[in-house]
């Protein structure tokens, strides 16, 4: 039986990070879609199911923290419990406890180390 | 090539099956049942972590560790799988260079938790090593190699091309003294180039952008202006580096 691919949504406004992440995740057999801002993340999540979200904190229109808070408030219990990993370029601005309070399951710092990104994704999905 | 695996070295078939099942839930792995096979794997596909069972008979733990250190230096940690609950050998095993000791029979949850922690610790150690050079480099080769290991070379070449276009764009913004965009937009561009440069291993640009971002947010106009001049200089230096090293582009 062929197992369905795990679907990951990436909220990130940098096309460089999107292309790189998509390629790295594809190498590990994950399927990835991208949203350029928090509003797009919410729109895509309303239309489609994902197994995990990688969410950049700093995005235009609706940032990653606000977007995560909105997701946790959704009525759909499958969607509001989706694991979300924060991606932050300014980790010093927040403590791990802050990230948990915002609703994130874990966080990764930029510059991205893709070995760590993959290990964190695997850890959360397990 | 994919991310580094966990290598399981276990000659007891029942234990091997259990370790494969558990580790397969959290990470990719290779498994072998002799020390000789393990050493071959080390040279063909260096692992992130090795689980070495002390019931392996074709090589003793001390010789195995010596061969591991000769082949992969300290780029991977080795865990001893001890067949008894007896703790008396732990000190000796640590002296041999084993990072940790796991006693059989294992408790699956604790086992997985320990492996997860060790994987994260090893990756962090690797990262610290690759960024431990005293001065930032134009292009960190460890970061560049990592991207090549985890992605296709076509994508990597394209990403560096895109990054150069992004560099051109920020140079224009610096030269036009931000006339066409707001300060907030300009700082957002600097933040983006900071994240991208760091991820791509362009360390000098990353450090310069980080400094610009701090000064820009602090509204220190003169210092900010000076830091932009430095950012411009390191971007030009990076672009010159790419011209001299066209393989980054795939040429």
Q: Is A24 on the interface with B (CB under 8 A)?
A: yes
pLDDT band at A38 (very low <50, low <70, confident <90, very high): very high
Q: Which of B169, B161, B164 is nearest to B189 (CA)?
A: B169
Q: What b/e string do you get for B86-125 counting C-beta neighbours within 10 Å, with b at 16 or more?
A: eeebeeebeebbbbbbbebebeeeebbeebbebbeebbee
- Quote the domain boundaries for residue B20: 6-130
Select the more confidently predicted residue: B179 or B74: B74
Residue A126, pLDDT score: 79
User: Over the stretch B30-85, which tens digit does the pLDDT of each residue have?
Assistant: 999 999 999 988 888 889 899 999 999 999 998 899 888 887 777 788 999 998 87
- Stated as kind and residue range, the H or E segment containing B80 is strand B77-82
Nearest CA in chain B to A116: B123
Specify if B146 maps to a domain. yes
A–B interface: beta-carbon pairs under 8 A: 92
Residue A58 pLDDT exceeds 60: yes
**What domain count does chain B have?**
2
Whichever domain contains B43, its CATH number is 3.40.50.2300
Claim to verify: residue B106 and residue B62 sit in the same structural domain: yes
pLDDT band at B2 (very low <50, low <70, confident <90, very high): low
Specify if B155 maps to a domain. yes
φ, ψ dihedrals at B7, nearest 5°: -105, 120
Residue B242: how many CA atoms within 13 Å on its side-chain side?
22
Specify if B65 maps to a domain. yes
Q: Which two tokens stand for residue A82?
A: 């989706």
ipTM of predicted complex: 0.87
Specify if B99 maps to a domain. yes
Distance from CA of A125 to the nearest CA of B (A): 8
The arithmetic mean of pLDDT across residues B152-181, rounded, is 86
> H-type helices in chain A, by residue range?
15-27, 38-47, 64-72, 77-80, 96-102, 114-125
Claim to verify: residue B74 and residue B42 sit in the same structural domain: yes
User: Over the stretch A12-22, which tens digit does the pLDDT of each residue have?
Assistant: 999 999 999 99
For an interface test with A, which of B199, B209, B217 has the most A Cβ atoms less than 10 Å from its Cβ? B199
Claim to verify: residue B34 and residue B122 sit in the same structural domain: yes
Domain end call among B74, B104, B130: B130
The Cβ of residue B8 has, within 10 Å, a number of other Cβ atoms equal to 25
Claim to verify: residue B229 and residue B181 sit in the same structural domain: yes
pLDDT band at A45 (very low <50, low <70, confident <90, very high): very high
Claim to verify: residue B208 and residue B101 sit in the same structural domain: no
Claim to verify: residue B125 and residue B145 sit in the same structural domain: no
With contacts defined as CB-CB under 8 Å, which chain A residues touch B27?
119, 122
Among partner residues A28, A60, A110, which is closest to B195 by beta-carbon distance?
A110
CATH T-level topology, domain A7-125: Rossmann fold (3.40.50)
Q: Tell me which residue has tokens 């977007």.
A: A67
Specify if B135 maps to a domain. no
Provide the percentage of residues in chain A whose pLDDT is more than 90: 74
Domain end call among B86, B109, B130: B130
Distance from CA of A12 to the nearest CA of B (A): 10
Residue B182 CA: distances (Å) to CA of A13, A14, B111, B193, B194: 18, 19, 53, 17, 18
Claim to verify: residue B95 and residue B147 sit in the same structural domain: no
Domain end call among B130, B153, B184: B130
The arithmetic mean of pLDDT across residues B17-32, rounded, is 91
Q: Is A13 on the interface with B (CB under 8 A)?
A: yes
Q: Whole-prediction pTM value?
A: 0.68
Cβ-defined contact of A19 to B155 (cutoff 8 Å): yes
Residue B156 pLDDT exceeds 80: yes
Whichever domain contains B224, its CATH number is 1.20.120.160
Residue B1, pLDDT score: 46
CA–CA gap between residue A32 and residue A18 (Å, rounded)? 9
Residue B177 pLDDT exceeds 90: no
Strands B49-53 and A7-11: unpaired
Residue B179 pLDDT exceeds 80: no
Residue A96, pLDDT score: 83
Claim to verify: residue B243 and residue B145 sit in the same structural domain: yes
Claim to verify: residue B100 and residue B147 sit in the same structural domain: no
Claim to verify: residue B20 and residue B114 sit in the same structural domain: yes
Provide the percentage of residues in chain B whose pLDDT is more than 90: 43
Distance from CA of B159 to the nearest CA of A (A): 6
Q: Which two tokens stand for residue A57?
A: 């904190």
The arithmetic mean of pLDDT across residues A54-69, rounded, is 94
Distance from CA of A35 to the nearest CA of B (A): 16
Claim to verify: residue B238 and residue B156 sit in the same structural domain: yes
Residue A36 pLDDT exceeds 90: yes
Specify if B1 maps to a domain. no
Nearest CA in chain A to B22: A126
Specify if B150 maps to a domain. yes
CA–CA gap between residue B219 and residue B221 (Å, rounded)? 6
Residue B131 pLDDT exceeds 70: no
Among partner residues A89, A114, A122, which is closest to B195 by beta-carbon distance?
A89
CA–CA gap between residue B201 and residue B241 (Å, rounded)? 13
Claim to verify: residue B196 and residue B100 sit in the same structural domain: no
The arithmetic mean of pLDDT across residues B124-137, rounded, is 66
């Amino acid at each position: 039986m062929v197992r369905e691919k795990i679907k990951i949504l990436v909220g990130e406004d940098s096309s460089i990070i999107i292309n790189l992440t998509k390629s790295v995740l594809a190498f590990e057999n994950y399927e990835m879609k991208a949203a350029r801002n928090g509003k797009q993340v919410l729109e895509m999540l309303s239309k489609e199911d994902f197994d995990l979200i990688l969410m950049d904190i700093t995005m235009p229109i609706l940032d990653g923290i606000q977007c995560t808070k909105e997701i946790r408030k959704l009525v759909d219990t499958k969607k509001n419990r989706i694991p979300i990993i924060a991606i932050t370029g300014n980790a010093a601005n927040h403590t791990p406890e802050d990230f948990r309070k915002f609703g994130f399951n874990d966080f990764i710092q930029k510059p991205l180390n893709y070995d760590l990104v993959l290990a964190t994704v695997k850890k959360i999905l397990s | 090539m994919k991310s580094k695996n966990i290598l399981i070295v276990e000659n007891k078939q029942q234990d091997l099956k259990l370790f494969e099942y558990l580790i397969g839930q959290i990470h990719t792995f290779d498994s072998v049942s002799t020390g000789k096979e393990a050493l071959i794997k080390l040279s063909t596909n260096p692992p992130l972590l090795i689980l070495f069972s002390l019931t392996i008979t074709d090589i003793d733990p001390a010789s195995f560790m010596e061969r591991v250190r000769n082949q992969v230096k300290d780029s991977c940690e080795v865990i001893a799988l001890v067949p008894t609950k007896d703790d008396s050998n732990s000190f000796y095993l640590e002296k041999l260079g084993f990072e940790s000791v796991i006693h059989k029979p294992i408790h699956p949850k604790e086992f997985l938790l320990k492996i997860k922690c060790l994987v994260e610790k090893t990756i962090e150690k690797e990262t610290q090593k690759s960024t431990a050079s005293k001065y930032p480099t134009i292009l960190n080769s460890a970061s560049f190699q990592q991207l090549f290991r985890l992605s296709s070379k076509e994508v990597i070449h394209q990403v560096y091309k895109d990054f150069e276009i992004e560099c051109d764009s920020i140079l224009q913004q610096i030269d036009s003294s931000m006339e066409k965009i707001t300060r907030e937009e300009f700082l957002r561009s600097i933040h983006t180039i900071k994240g991208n440069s760091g991820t791509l291993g362009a360390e000098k640009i990353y450090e310069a952008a980080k400094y610009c971002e701090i000064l820009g947010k602090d509204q220190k106009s003169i210092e900010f202006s000076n830091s932009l001049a430095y950012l411009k200089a390191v971007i030009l230096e990076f672009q010159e580096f790419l011209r001299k090293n066209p393989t980054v582009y795939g040429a």
